[in-house]
Structure 1
């Protein structure tokens, strides 16, 4: 049994992670702002993670084997966490994102050579510059700089002492029907089922996905079963482009997809990319994690999305 702290963990794969940690017999503490309560048997601390004094007061003398941070989006938040949890936990796991590799969000990131899936070395948090004075507290700025916020958060936590740091760079997460709150898969299911066109780039490039249950399983593994440090890519086997995703929806609806060419950059549907946008999961496999194939779970995810309420 380990003592695990989850920051966030109130929805989607974070909520499932908390449930699985508890079912595995671990002592679990959830920290959030009080908007939702964790399951029975899970300790609940109410604090705003942006308020360092409030976070320290809520934690009191508690210590942990591992902290899993689901809601760290900026280097400012990472710096607060580094100060609060240094010496309080043995291990710190940050949920990060495939978007750290997007060359359109950072001039220093070249496109993947010859279209091959990128490895973790493509973005080295130990060398990435950090600017705590940018307007990270401005919601509009943060939304527009989500990928950079994650890169700098990784950089801050990589450079501090006091705990082992690991980041899980998640692929695009699907599955769960209405639980999939982004609505990106629903965009495809509803358009294809209604006979409406899906807007895609003329020269489609593939990306990678992961089922929310698989991501919860990987985070549990990263928190309790392994001691790796540094970044780790998390994606199911089998890249797909947007047209192939629409085709998977069509297979469940019996209705052929229609496509429309994107007229300008940024005008395409979610998951339609004009640049190669796939990760390699080789490191996680070498460390012992076994991934599923996207093709094996996608039909059920599409069926769930079709049954979910229309957004």
Structure 2
């Protein structure tokens, strides 16, 4: 039995992660600010992770075999966690995002041969591997550079947070770079899959790029399984988390349309204009080969997506995508 602390874990796949670890026989504790109580059989630490002294006091003498950090968004949060959990975490798993690879959010001016993770940027290959981004050598800028674009701020915050842990590890560290998470009906709080279900069901055109690139997805239960798996393994470093197979926005729409018995309609947007949530004009779909080689078995996106579409359809309309 391991002692596992989950920071966050109050909603969506975080809840599934907590239950999976508990049901596997581990001693699980959830740390949050009290937004929701943990499930039965799970411990609770009430603390604000941004308050370093308060966090230390709330944890007391506790130590953990593994810490799974679901809500680390900035380098400041990472630096606090690195200091507080040094000497009390046998292993630290941070939930990151595939958006760290997005060339549109990398800092600095575009540069045809600029180093990935440096101040320039260059296009990524069709499927990015963990080695496509060297955050251990990325420039140190704390806090994350402010930006009017929330997507850029989110991606840069995650990159810098990973970099804090990777540059000078205080414990064995893993960053799980998560693909777009879908499934779970109303639990899928972003409403991105519902966006397509609602539009195609109503005959409303979907906004797409003229030549959209494929992207990566993962089921909400699959990412919970992978985070739990990462917590009880011994490897370190970044790992991509994506179901087998990729889809572009039109492929996604075709699957939605087939489930609904409708035909999708499209409206092509101008170059550089915003489109629907999973229409991308640049390539950064992920290669999941490292996790697969380490022993994690992925499902195929086309295997689970029809049931996720059916769940979204059964929930009805009313949500707006982020």
| TM-score scaled by length of structure 2 | 0.92
Match of 1:274 among 267, 281, 300: 281
**Maintained 8 Å contact 1:177/1:304:** yes
- Indicate the larger mover: 263-272 or 196-205: 263-272
Q: How many residues align?
A: 306
> Could you say which residue in structure 2 is the equivalent of 1:129?
139
Q: Contact 1:86/1:161 (CA < 8 Å) preserved in 2?
A: no
Question: Does the CA contact (< 8 Å) of 2:216 and 2:246 recur in 1?
Answer: yes
- Are 2:248 and 1:236 equivalent residues in the alignment? no
User: Counterpart of 2:298?
Assistant: 291
262-271 or 229-238, which deviates more: 262-271
Quick one: distance in 2 between partners of 1:262 and 1:46?
47
Asked if structure 2 preserves the Cα contact closer than 8 Å seen for 1:75 and 1:130, the reply is: no
Partner of 2:208: 200
How far apart in 2 are the matches of 1:71 and 1:281? 23
Q: CA separation in 2, counterparts of 1:287 and 1:132?
A: 33
Tell me the alpha carbon deviations over residues 55-107 of structure 1, each in whole angstroms, 9 at most, x when there is no partner.
Answer: 11110000000000000000000000000000001100000000000001114
How much does 1:277 deviate? 2.3
Quickly say closer, same or farther: Cα 1:266–1:6, change in 2 above 3 A: farther
SS in 2 for 1:6: strand
- When structure 1 is superposed on structure 2, of 207-216 and 100-109 the one drifting more is 100-109
Distance 2:72 2:101 in 1: 18
How far 1:124 sits from its partner (Å)?
1.5
Matched, 1:27 2:27: yes
Q: Give the unaligned 5+ runs of structure 2.
A: 109-119
Deviations 1:219-275 (A, max 9, x none): 010011x11111000100111000110111001110100000113524100010011
Structure 1 position 109, deviation (Å)? 3.2
Tell me, in whole angstroms, the C-alpha distance in 2 between the residues paired with 1:44 and 1:227. 26
Distance 1:31 1:242, change over 3 A: same
Describe the SS at the equivalent of 1:300.
helix
Q: 2:159 aligns to what?
A: 151
Measured on the aligned residues, the alpha-carbon RMSD in Å equals 1.5
Alpha-carbon displacement from aligned partner over 1:140-183 (angstroms, at most 9, x marks no partner) = 77664100100000000112343100100001100000000001
Separation of aligned partners in 2, 1:184 and 1:211? 13
Aligned to 1:263: 270
In structure 2, the CA distance between the partners of 1:309 and 1:127, relative to structure 1 (3 Å rule), is same
Cα distance in 2 for partners of 1:134, 1:19 equals 33
Q: Give the alignment of 1:81-120 within 5 angstroms.
A: 81-106=81-106, 107=108, 108-113=120-125, 116-120=126-130
Q: Distance in 2 between matches of 1:266 and 1:206?
A: 18
Contact residue 144 and residue 156 of structure 2 kept, 8 A: no
Matched residue, 2:70: 70
* Partners of 1:205 and 1:275 within 8 A in 2: yes
